[in-house]
Amino acid sequence: MRGFLQPALRLRADDLQRAFGALSRHRRGKLARTAHTTLVKAHQWGRGEAVAPEVATALEGALKALQAKAPKKA
Q: 16-44: per-residue pLDDT in tens?
A: 999 999 999 999 999 999 999 999 999 99
23 within some domain: yes
Q: 60 in a domain, yes or no?
A: yes
Q: How far is CA 23 from CA 2, 3, 9, 31, 51, in A?
A: 32, 34, 25, 10, 19
Q: Give the domain extent around 49.
A: 15-69
pTM: predicted TM-score of the whole model, two decimal places: 0.78
What is the reported pLDDT for 1?
Answer: 54
- With 0-12 CB in 10 A as exposed, 13-18 as middle and 19+ as buried, what is 43? middle
- With respect to residue 74, please indicate whether it lies within any of the assigned structural domains: no
Residue 25 domain flag: yes
Share of the chain above pLDDT 70, in %: 88
pLDDT, mean of residues 40-52: 93
The number of folded domains in the chain is: 1
Asked whether residue 24 is domain-assigned, the answer is yes
Q: How many CB atoms sit inside 10 A of residue 46's CB?
A: 23
Whether residue 1 lies inside any domain: the answer is no
